[in-house]
A and B are shown apart, each in its own frame.
Chain A
Amino acid sequence: MKTRDLVLIALFAAIVVVLGLIPPITLGFIPVPITAQSMGVMLAGCILGAKRGALAFLLFLLLVVIGLPVLSGGRGGLAVIAGPSGGFIIGWVVAAFVTGLIAERMVREGQAETRQFIGFFLASVLGGIVVLYAIGMPWVSVVTGTPLLTVATGSLAFIPGDLLKAAIATLAARAVYAGYPLLPART
Protein backbone atom coordinates (compact mmCIF):
# COMPACT_ATOMS: atom_id res chain seq x y z
CA MET A 1 0.00 0.00 0.00
CA LYS A 2 1.22 3.47 -0.84
CA THR A 3 1.93 5.80 2.07
CA ARG A 4 -0.58 8.27 0.63
CA ASP A 5 -3.37 5.66 0.80
CA LEU A 6 -2.43 4.81 4.37
CA VAL A 7 -2.55 8.50 5.29
CA LEU A 8 -5.91 9.00 3.53
CA ILE A 9 -7.36 6.04 5.44
CA ALA A 10 -6.09 7.37 8.78
CA LEU A 11 -7.27 10.92 8.05
CA PHE A 12 -10.71 9.68 7.11
CA ALA A 13 -10.98 7.59 10.28
CA ALA A 14 -10.03 10.78 12.18
CA ILE A 15 -12.75 12.73 10.31
CA VAL A 16 -15.29 10.09 11.38
CA VAL A 17 -14.14 10.55 15.00
CA VAL A 18 -14.64 14.32 14.68
CA LEU A 19 -18.10 13.82 13.11
CA GLY A 20 -18.94 12.00 16.36
CA LEU A 21 -18.03 15.12 18.36
CA ILE A 22 -20.46 17.34 16.45
CA PRO A 23 -23.73 17.64 18.40
CA PRO A 24 -26.59 15.67 16.79
CA ILE A 25 -29.33 17.65 15.06
CA THR A 26 -33.01 17.07 15.75
CA LEU A 27 -35.54 17.77 13.04
CA GLY A 28 -39.23 18.18 13.76
CA PHE A 29 -40.52 15.70 11.21
CA ILE A 30 -38.09 12.84 12.02
CA PRO A 31 -38.42 10.88 15.30
CA VAL A 32 -34.71 10.14 15.86
CA PRO A 33 -31.88 12.71 16.14
CA ILE A 34 -29.42 12.69 13.26
CA THR A 35 -25.79 12.08 14.16
CA ALA A 36 -23.24 13.28 11.64
CA GLN A 37 -21.09 10.23 12.37
CA SER A 38 -23.50 7.73 10.81
CA MET A 39 -23.14 9.64 7.57
CA GLY A 40 -19.46 8.66 7.64
CA VAL A 41 -20.10 5.28 6.01
CA MET A 42 -21.68 6.82 2.94
CA LEU A 43 -19.03 9.54 2.77
CA ALA A 44 -16.14 7.06 3.13
CA GLY A 45 -17.39 4.87 0.28
CA CYS A 46 -18.28 7.76 -2.01
CA ILE A 47 -15.09 9.74 -1.41
CA LEU A 48 -12.33 7.15 -0.91
CA GLY A 49 -13.82 4.23 -2.84
CA ALA A 50 -14.44 0.64 -1.75
CA LYS A 51 -11.05 -0.51 -0.48
CA ARG A 52 -9.83 2.61 1.29
CA GLY A 53 -13.33 3.39 2.60
CA ALA A 54 -13.68 -0.06 4.16
CA LEU A 55 -10.15 0.13 5.61
CA ALA A 56 -10.88 3.54 7.12
CA PHE A 57 -13.84 2.00 8.93
CA LEU A 58 -11.85 -1.09 9.91
CA LEU A 59 -9.38 1.31 11.55
CA PHE A 60 -12.27 3.15 13.21
CA LEU A 61 -13.63 -0.20 14.46
CA LEU A 62 -10.19 -0.94 15.92
CA LEU A 63 -10.32 2.37 17.82
CA VAL A 64 -13.70 1.36 19.28
CA VAL A 65 -12.50 -2.12 20.25
CA ILE A 66 -9.31 -0.99 21.98
CA GLY A 67 -11.33 1.28 24.23
CA LEU A 68 -11.30 4.79 22.78
CA PRO A 69 -14.55 6.74 23.20
CA VAL A 70 -14.83 7.56 19.50
CA LEU A 71 -18.51 6.81 18.88
CA SER A 72 -20.91 9.76 18.99
CA GLY A 73 -21.83 10.67 22.55
CA GLY A 74 -18.38 9.59 23.78
CA ARG A 75 -19.17 5.89 23.69
CA GLY A 76 -16.73 3.11 22.88
CA GLY A 77 -15.13 -0.06 24.11
CA LEU A 78 -16.13 -3.69 23.79
CA ALA A 79 -19.44 -3.06 25.61
CA VAL A 80 -20.91 -1.33 22.56
CA ILE A 81 -19.95 -4.23 20.30
CA ALA A 82 -21.47 -6.71 22.79
CA GLY A 83 -24.72 -4.70 22.94
CA PRO A 84 -27.74 -4.88 20.61
CA SER A 85 -26.42 -2.38 18.07
CA GLY A 86 -23.00 -4.05 17.72
CA GLY A 87 -24.02 -5.43 14.32
CA PHE A 88 -24.50 -1.94 12.93
CA ILE A 89 -21.02 -0.89 14.03
CA ILE A 90 -19.35 -3.97 12.53
CA GLY A 91 -21.62 -3.62 9.50
CA TRP A 92 -20.16 -0.15 8.81
CA VAL A 93 -17.05 -1.79 7.31
CA VAL A 94 -19.07 -3.82 4.78
CA ALA A 95 -21.45 -0.92 4.15
CA ALA A 96 -18.55 1.43 3.31
CA PHE A 97 -17.13 -1.22 0.95
CA VAL A 98 -20.41 -1.73 -0.94
CA THR A 99 -21.03 2.04 -1.11
CA GLY A 100 -17.56 2.42 -2.60
CA LEU A 101 -18.05 -0.38 -5.13
CA ILE A 102 -21.25 1.16 -6.45
CA ALA A 103 -19.85 4.70 -6.48
CA GLU A 104 -16.71 3.56 -8.34
CA ARG A 105 -18.87 1.95 -11.01
CA MET A 106 -21.40 4.72 -11.43
CA VAL A 107 -19.50 7.97 -11.06
CA ARG A 108 -17.03 9.23 -13.65
CA GLU A 109 -15.25 12.51 -14.17
CA GLY A 110 -16.74 14.53 -16.99
CA GLN A 111 -20.23 13.10 -16.46
CA ALA A 112 -23.18 15.43 -16.18
CA GLU A 113 -23.60 16.70 -12.63
CA THR A 114 -27.03 15.06 -12.29
CA ARG A 115 -25.64 11.62 -13.16
CA GLN A 116 -22.95 12.01 -10.52
CA PHE A 117 -25.60 12.97 -7.96
CA ILE A 118 -27.68 9.91 -8.89
CA GLY A 119 -24.63 7.64 -8.67
CA PHE A 120 -23.60 8.89 -5.22
CA PHE A 121 -27.18 8.76 -3.94
CA LEU A 122 -27.74 5.17 -5.14
CA ALA A 123 -24.40 4.10 -3.66
CA SER A 124 -25.25 5.76 -0.33
CA VAL A 125 -28.72 4.22 -0.16
CA LEU A 126 -27.73 0.69 -1.22
CA GLY A 127 -24.49 0.53 0.78
CA GLY A 128 -25.21 2.81 3.71
CA ILE A 129 -28.84 1.79 4.30
CA VAL A 130 -29.75 -1.53 2.60
CA VAL A 131 -26.50 -3.40 3.32
CA LEU A 132 -26.11 -1.86 6.78
CA TYR A 133 -29.60 -2.89 7.89
CA ALA A 134 -29.18 -6.34 6.30
CA ILE A 135 -26.32 -6.89 8.79
CA GLY A 136 -27.55 -4.86 11.75
CA MET A 137 -31.15 -6.06 12.00
CA PRO A 138 -30.49 -9.85 12.14
CA TRP A 139 -27.85 -9.09 14.79
CA VAL A 140 -30.38 -7.22 16.95
CA SER A 141 -32.83 -10.08 16.46
CA VAL A 142 -30.29 -12.76 17.44
CA VAL A 143 -28.91 -11.03 20.55
CA THR A 144 -32.19 -9.74 21.95
CA GLY A 145 -34.54 -12.51 20.76
CA THR A 146 -36.92 -9.95 19.27
CA PRO A 147 -38.44 -11.44 16.07
CA LEU A 148 -36.77 -10.09 12.91
CA LEU A 149 -40.05 -8.78 11.55
CA THR A 150 -40.61 -6.66 14.66
CA VAL A 151 -37.06 -5.30 14.46
CA ALA A 152 -37.61 -4.47 10.80
CA THR A 153 -40.88 -2.68 11.54
CA GLY A 154 -39.24 -0.70 14.34
CA SER A 155 -36.32 0.21 12.09
CA LEU A 156 -38.70 1.97 9.71
CA ALA A 157 -38.59 4.93 12.12
CA PHE A 158 -34.95 5.45 11.14
CA ILE A 159 -35.46 5.31 7.37
CA PRO A 160 -36.53 8.98 6.79
CA GLY A 161 -33.45 10.16 8.71
CA ASP A 162 -31.24 7.76 6.78
CA LEU A 163 -32.56 8.98 3.44
CA LEU A 164 -31.86 12.55 4.52
CA LYS A 165 -28.32 11.49 5.49
CA ALA A 166 -27.89 9.86 2.08
CA ALA A 167 -28.97 13.13 0.45
CA ILE A 168 -26.51 15.20 2.53
CA ALA A 169 -23.73 12.65 1.93
CA THR A 170 -24.47 12.78 -1.82
CA LEU A 171 -24.12 16.57 -1.95
CA ALA A 172 -20.98 16.54 0.21
CA ALA A 173 -19.38 13.67 -1.74
CA ARG A 174 -20.07 15.39 -5.03
CA ALA A 175 -18.57 18.64 -3.66
CA VAL A 176 -15.42 16.76 -2.63
CA TYR A 177 -15.34 14.95 -5.99
CA ALA A 178 -15.42 18.29 -7.78
CA GLY A 179 -12.83 19.89 -5.50
CA TYR A 180 -10.41 17.05 -4.80
CA PRO A 181 -11.30 13.82 -6.63
CA LEU A 182 -10.00 10.65 -4.97
CA LEU A 183 -12.60 8.07 -6.05
CA PRO A 184 -10.98 5.46 -8.32
CA ALA A 185 -12.96 4.66 -11.48
CA ARG A 186 -13.91 1.05 -12.13
CA THR A 187 -15.38 -0.45 -15.26
Chain B
Amino acid sequence: MLTSLHIEGDSLLHRLPVRLKLIALLMLSIVLFLSSSLALQAIAFVIATGLYLSVGLSPREAFKRVGFVFLTIFFLAAVNLFLLPVAEVAALTLRLMALVLFAATVTATTTISAFMDEVTILLTPLERLGLVRAADVSLALGLVLRFVPDIFARYEAIREAHRARGLPVRPLTIIGPLIILTLKDADTIAAAIDARGFRRQ
Protein backbone atom coordinates (compact mmCIF):
# COMPACT_ATOMS: atom_id res chain seq x y z
CA MET B 1 0.00 0.00 0.00
CA LEU B 2 2.81 2.39 0.84
CA THR B 3 5.45 1.99 -1.81
CA SER B 4 8.40 4.32 -1.55
CA LEU B 5 9.00 6.88 -4.29
CA HIS B 6 12.53 5.53 -4.63
CA ILE B 7 13.46 4.18 -8.07
CA GLU B 8 15.98 1.36 -8.41
CA GLY B 9 19.04 2.37 -10.37
CA ASP B 10 22.77 2.68 -10.48
CA SER B 11 23.32 6.21 -11.73
CA LEU B 12 25.85 8.57 -10.15
CA LEU B 13 22.99 10.20 -8.22
CA HIS B 14 21.96 6.84 -6.79
CA ARG B 15 25.46 6.24 -5.51
CA LEU B 16 26.06 9.68 -3.99
CA PRO B 17 25.59 9.85 -0.20
CA VAL B 18 22.24 11.28 0.95
CA ARG B 19 23.91 14.01 2.96
CA LEU B 20 25.66 15.37 -0.12
CA LYS B 21 22.39 15.40 -2.07
CA LEU B 22 20.52 17.17 0.72
CA ILE B 23 23.29 19.76 1.15
CA ALA B 24 23.31 20.30 -2.63
CA LEU B 25 19.53 20.82 -2.58
CA LEU B 26 19.87 23.32 0.26
CA MET B 27 22.74 25.19 -1.42
CA LEU B 28 20.87 25.28 -4.72
CA SER B 29 17.78 26.78 -3.10
CA ILE B 30 19.85 29.43 -1.29
CA VAL B 31 21.77 30.38 -4.46
CA LEU B 32 18.64 30.49 -6.62
CA PHE B 33 16.73 32.57 -4.07
CA LEU B 34 19.57 35.10 -3.73
CA SER B 35 19.98 35.50 -7.48
CA SER B 36 17.43 37.24 -9.66
CA SER B 37 19.27 36.43 -12.90
CA LEU B 38 16.94 34.86 -15.42
CA ALA B 39 19.84 33.09 -17.17
CA LEU B 40 20.98 31.35 -13.97
CA GLN B 41 17.44 30.13 -13.14
CA ALA B 42 17.05 28.88 -16.72
CA ILE B 43 20.34 26.96 -16.56
CA ALA B 44 19.34 25.45 -13.20
CA PHE B 45 15.97 24.45 -14.65
CA VAL B 46 17.56 22.75 -17.68
CA ILE B 47 20.08 20.87 -15.50
CA ALA B 48 17.40 19.83 -12.98
CA THR B 49 15.14 18.59 -15.80
CA GLY B 50 18.05 16.62 -17.26
CA LEU B 51 18.87 15.04 -13.90
CA TYR B 52 15.23 14.24 -13.15
CA LEU B 53 14.72 12.55 -16.51
CA SER B 54 17.93 10.56 -16.12
CA VAL B 55 16.97 8.69 -12.93
CA GLY B 56 14.99 6.03 -14.76
CA LEU B 57 11.36 7.08 -14.24
CA SER B 58 8.86 6.24 -16.95
CA PRO B 59 7.62 9.46 -18.63
CA ARG B 60 4.14 8.94 -17.22
CA GLU B 61 5.37 8.41 -13.67
CA ALA B 62 7.81 11.32 -14.02
CA PHE B 63 4.94 13.61 -15.01
CA LYS B 64 2.60 12.29 -12.34
CA ARG B 65 5.05 12.97 -9.53
CA VAL B 66 5.55 16.67 -10.21
CA GLY B 67 2.37 17.39 -12.17
CA PHE B 68 0.29 18.57 -9.24
CA VAL B 69 3.00 20.83 -7.82
CA PHE B 70 3.60 22.28 -11.30
CA LEU B 71 -0.11 22.97 -11.65
CA THR B 72 0.02 25.13 -8.49
CA ILE B 73 3.18 26.84 -9.74
CA PHE B 74 1.59 27.64 -13.13
CA PHE B 75 -1.58 28.88 -11.50
CA LEU B 76 0.36 31.28 -9.26
CA ALA B 77 2.54 32.30 -12.23
CA ALA B 78 -0.62 33.18 -14.17
CA VAL B 79 -1.76 35.35 -11.24
CA ASN B 80 1.72 36.93 -11.07
CA LEU B 81 1.56 37.96 -14.73
CA PHE B 82 -1.02 40.57 -13.80
CA LEU B 83 1.08 41.95 -10.95
CA LEU B 84 4.78 41.65 -11.84
CA PRO B 85 7.02 42.25 -14.88
CA VAL B 86 7.12 39.25 -17.26
CA ALA B 87 10.90 38.69 -16.86
CA GLU B 88 10.52 38.47 -13.09
CA VAL B 89 7.63 36.01 -13.33
CA ALA B 90 9.69 33.86 -15.69
CA ALA B 91 12.65 33.86 -13.27
CA LEU B 92 10.45 33.02 -10.27
CA THR B 93 8.67 30.21 -12.10
CA LEU B 94 11.87 28.66 -13.47
CA ARG B 95 13.49 28.81 -10.02
CA LEU B 96 10.60 27.04 -8.37
CA MET B 97 10.35 24.38 -11.07
CA ALA B 98 14.13 23.77 -10.89
CA LEU B 99 13.94 23.27 -7.12
CA VAL B 100 10.91 20.97 -7.33
CA LEU B 101 12.59 18.86 -10.04
CA PHE B 102 15.83 18.65 -8.09
CA ALA B 103 13.97 17.71 -4.91
CA ALA B 104 12.02 15.03 -6.81
CA THR B 105 15.35 13.73 -8.15
CA VAL B 106 16.77 13.42 -4.63
CA THR B 107 13.63 11.57 -3.51
CA ALA B 108 13.73 9.19 -6.49
CA THR B 109 17.38 8.29 -6.00
CA THR B 110 17.41 7.80 -2.22
CA THR B 111 16.13 4.77 -0.33
CA ILE B 112 14.11 5.07 2.87
CA SER B 113 16.82 3.31 4.85
CA ALA B 114 19.44 5.79 3.59
CA PHE B 115 17.20 8.63 4.74
CA MET B 116 16.64 6.96 8.09
CA ASP B 117 20.38 6.51 8.62
CA GLU B 118 20.79 10.23 8.02
CA VAL B 119 17.92 11.04 10.40
CA THR B 120 19.59 8.90 13.07
CA ILE B 121 22.83 10.85 12.63
CA LEU B 122 21.00 14.18 12.76
CA LEU B 123 19.27 13.10 15.97
CA THR B 124 22.53 12.20 17.75
CA PRO B 125 23.01 15.65 19.37
CA LEU B 126 19.40 15.61 20.61
CA GLU B 127 19.90 12.07 21.86
CA ARG B 128 22.96 13.17 23.88
CA LEU B 129 20.79 15.84 25.50
CA GLY B 130 18.29 13.13 26.38
CA LEU B 131 15.48 14.79 24.39
CA VAL B 132 14.73 12.01 21.93
CA ARG B 133 15.89 8.51 21.12
CA ALA B 134 16.70 7.69 17.52
CA ALA B 135 15.53 4.11 18.09
CA ASP B 136 12.11 5.47 19.09
CA VAL B 137 11.83 7.36 15.81
CA SER B 138 12.58 4.20 13.83
CA LEU B 139 10.14 2.24 15.98
CA ALA B 140 7.39 4.83 15.41
CA LEU B 141 8.08 4.79 11.67
CA GLY B 142 7.87 1.00 11.63
CA LEU B 143 4.58 1.12 13.54
CA VAL B 144 3.06 3.51 10.98
CA LEU B 145 4.05 1.27 8.06
CA ARG B 146 2.74 -1.75 9.95
CA PHE B 147 -0.65 -0.26 10.85
CA VAL B 148 -1.67 1.73 7.76
CA PRO B 149 -3.07 -1.37 5.97
CA ASP B 150 -4.93 -2.42 9.15
CA ILE B 151 -6.48 1.01 9.60
CA PHE B 152 -7.45 1.15 5.94
CA ALA B 153 -9.12 -2.25 6.25
CA ARG B 154 -10.98 -0.92 9.29
CA TYR B 155 -12.10 2.13 7.29
CA GLU B 156 -13.48 -0.18 4.59
CA ALA B 157 -15.26 -2.30 7.19
CA ILE B 158 -16.96 0.79 8.66
CA ARG B 159 -17.90 1.92 5.15
CA GLU B 160 -19.42 -1.50 4.42
CA ALA B 161 -21.31 -1.33 7.71
CA HIS B 162 -22.78 2.00 6.57
CA ARG B 163 -23.84 0.48 3.25
CA ALA B 164 -25.37 -2.54 4.94
CA ARG B 165 -27.58 -0.23 6.99
CA GLY B 166 -28.39 1.95 3.98
CA LEU B 167 -26.65 4.97 5.53
CA PRO B 168 -24.80 7.52 3.40
CA VAL B 169 -21.00 7.29 3.79
CA ARG B 170 -20.05 10.62 5.39
CA PRO B 171 -16.68 11.62 6.87
CA LEU B 172 -18.37 12.63 10.09
CA THR B 173 -19.87 9.22 10.81
CA ILE B 174 -16.71 7.38 9.72
CA ILE B 175 -13.89 9.36 11.37
CA GLY B 176 -15.15 9.06 14.93
CA PRO B 177 -15.45 5.25 15.04
CA LEU B 178 -12.25 4.85 12.98
CA ILE B 179 -10.20 6.89 15.47
CA ILE B 180 -11.73 5.34 18.60
CA LEU B 181 -11.30 1.77 17.31
CA THR B 182 -7.70 2.46 16.24
CA LEU B 183 -6.49 4.32 19.33
CA LYS B 184 -8.09 1.76 21.65
CA ASP B 185 -5.46 -0.69 20.38
CA ALA B 186 -2.68 1.53 21.75
CA ASP B 187 -2.56 -0.16 25.16
CA THR B 188 -2.30 -3.66 23.69
CA ILE B 189 0.39 -2.62 21.22
CA ALA B 190 2.35 -0.75 23.91
CA ALA B 191 2.15 -3.81 26.18
CA ALA B 192 3.38 -6.02 23.32
CA ILE B 193 6.34 -3.70 22.68
CA ASP B 194 7.29 -3.54 26.36
CA ALA B 195 6.89 -7.31 26.80
CA ARG B 196 9.50 -7.81 24.08
CA GLY B 197 11.82 -5.29 25.71
CA PHE B 198 12.23 -3.26 22.50
CA ARG B 199 12.70 -0.02 24.37
CA ARG B 200 14.78 -1.48 27.23
CA GLN B 201 12.60 0.02 29.93
Contacts and interface: CB of A to CB of B under 8 A. Distances in A.
21 contacts: A10-B140, A11-B185, A13-B140, A17-B144, A36-B171, A36-B175, A43-B179, A62-B137, A63-B141, A66-B4, A68-B4, A68-B112, A76-B107, A79-B101, A81-B103, A82-B100, A83-B100, A144-B76, A172-B175, A176-B176, A180-B183
A70 B103 CA distance: 16
B5 A69 contact: yes
B107 A59 contact: no
Contacts of A73: 68
B73 A83 contact: yes
B8 interface: no
Most A-side CB within 10 Å, residue of B2, B92, B136: B2
Contacts of B160: none
Given A17-B2, A66-B119, 14 more contacts: A3-B190, A3-B194, A4-B190, A8-B186, A11-B143, A13-B140, A14-B144, A18-B148, A43-B175, A68-B4, A69-B5, A85-B69, A85-B72, A171-B172
Given A18-B152, A66-B115, A3 B193 contact: yes
Contact of B103 (A34, A36, A78, A182): A78
A145 B84 contact: yes
Interface stretch (A120-128, A130-138, A146-154): A146-154
Interface in A137-187: 140, 143-147, 150, 154, 168, 171-172, 175-176, 179-180, 182
Contact of A146 (B76, B99, B115, B189): B76
Chain A: interface secondary structure? helix
A12 interface: yes
Contacts of A84: 69, 72-73, 76, 96
A178 B99 CA distance: 46
A146 B79 contact: yes
A7 B179 contact: no
Nearest to A165: B171
Contacts of A14: 143-144, 147-148, 151, 182
A20 B36 CA distance: 37
B20 interface: no
Chain B: number of interface residues, binned into ranges? 35 or more
Contacts of B185: 11
A76 B2 CA distance: 11
A85 B75 CA distance: 12
Interface in A73-113: 73, 75-85
Contacts of A76: 5, 107
Contact of B110 (A4, A67, A176): A67
Interface string B44-76: 000000000000000000000110110011001
A54 interface: no
Contacts of A18: 148, 151-152, 155, 178
Given A179-B180, A182-B183, A79 B100 contact: yes
Contacts of B127: none
Contacts of B199: 3, 6
Contacts of B72: 83-85
Contacts of B6: 67
Interface string A18-56: 110110010000000010100100010001000000000
